[in-house]
Amino acid sequence: MQKSKLVYTTYIRSTPEKVWDAITQPKFTRQYWGGLANVSDWKKGSTWDMATEDDKPEIYTTGKVLESTPPKRLVLSWIDPDNLNDISRVTYEIETVKDSVCLTVTHDEFKAGSTMPERVNGGWPRVLSSMKSFLETGKGLAAASCG
């Protein structure tokens, strides 16, 4: 049985550094990812969380930083905190193309029987479209909100 591999590519009028910051800095992720913040020091081996930023944060996704090469490549394990055995991998690849950035997000290495592919397949296009809008206009899309 072949495992799922989800690949999304978008072109953003921005710089690799700004795209990297949009992925890794909570003050930016909140603007386009439905109020959620990606939190970590982004060093290989560190934990990262996608969480609400309030008095009692709710963690939506967690994992480890597997590879970190700013501002070009970030590889994360992607774990459902409600099912710690449901582990997959997300790779962000950032490449300059003329006056833009090509951002490719690959979500793969799903465990057999995982429901993660179905759960994230609709989310990634919304989040990446919202990130593109945020970086190009200063405002993310409401469509990227959770729920």
- Considering the chain, what percentage of its residues have pLDDT values greater than 70? 95
Task: Give domain status of residue 25, yes or no.
Answer: yes
Structure tokens at 62: 């967690």
Which of the pair, 13 or 4, is modelled with greater confidence?
13
pLDDT grade for 3, boundaries at 50, 70 and 90: low
* Separation of alpha carbons 30 and 28, rounded Å: 5
- Mean pLDDT, to the nearest integer, of 65-83? 96
As a whole number, the mean pLDDT across the chain is 93
Task: Give domain status of residue 136, yes or no.
Answer: yes
- Number of structural domains the chain divides into: 1
Domain of 138, CATH number, reads: 3.30.530.20
113 and 83 Cβ atoms separated by less than 8 Å = no
> Tell me, what's the pLDDT at 145?
56
Residue 38, helix vs strand vs coil: strand
Give 17-62 pLDDT, tens digit per residue.
Answer: 999 999 999 999 999 999 999 999 999 999 999 999 877 789 999 9
> Tell me, what's the pLDDT at 54?
76
Q: Can you tell me which residue has the tokens 């405002």? A: 139
6 and 121 Cβ atoms separated by less than 8 Å = yes
Distances in whole angstroms, Cα of residue 20 to Cα of each of 28, 34, 47, 119, 124: 10, 18, 17, 24, 17
Task: Give domain status of residue 90, yes or no.
Answer: yes
Distances in whole angstroms, Cα of residue 33 to Cα of each of 4, 47, 74, 96, 112: 24, 19, 18, 23, 28
Task: Give domain status of residue 1, yes or no.
Answer: no
Range of the domain at 31: 6-144
